[in-house]
């Protein structure tokens, strides 16, 4: 699911060891937060409304990751949104893009699991 964005530009051949290292770090599949979060998302109904790179009913995971990259409060804020949901009357950041679609609450998801899902999503930010 994660793709390496390394360029095949021959002008960077003088630093091929750096490119190899970047390629390994761009491969998220061996990251435990990536693996656990992906597993939790697949086990829940998240993929009904979200995709990694495309807006479906809700925003793409990559758009969410890019929007909240570097935010100190993202983990808590987004995990709360997963558990509590976003109602039609709630003011939320994606209302315009999602035509005010609601995000159903997921009260059975634990705080720890919701945080793990958010960690996965945040790993998807563009580098």
**48-81: pLDDT as tens digits:** 999 999 998 889 999 999 999 999 999 999 999 9
Summarised one tens digit per residue, pLDDT across range 117-126 is 999 999 999 8
Residue 3 has pLDDT above 50, yes or no: no
What mean pLDDT comes out for the span 93-100? 68
Q: What is the DSSP string of 57-123?
A: SS--HHHHHHHHTT-TTHHHHHHHHHHH-B-TTS--TTTTTTTT--B---TTS-HHHHHHHHHHHHH
Angle at 39 (CA atoms; ends 49, 76), nearest 5 degrees? 70
Looking at domain 30-123, its CATH architecture is Orthogonal Bundle (1.10)
pTM (two decimals)? 0.74
């Amino acid at each position: 699911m994660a793709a390496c964005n390394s360029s095949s530009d021959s002008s960077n051949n003088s630093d091929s060891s750096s490119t190899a290292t970047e390629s390994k770090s761009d491969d998220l599949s061996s990251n435990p937060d990536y693996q656990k979060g992906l597993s939790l998302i697949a086990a829940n109904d998240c993929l009904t409304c979200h995709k990694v790179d495309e807006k479906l009913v809700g925003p793409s995971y990559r758009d969410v990751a890019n929007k909240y990259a570097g935010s100190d409060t993202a983990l808590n804020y987004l995990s709360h949104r997963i558990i509590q949901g976003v109602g039609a009357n709630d003011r939320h950041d994606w209302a315009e893009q999602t035509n005010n679609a609601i995000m159903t609450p997921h009260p059975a998801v634990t705080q720890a699991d919701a945080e793990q899902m958010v960690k996965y999503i945040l790993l998807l930010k563009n580098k």
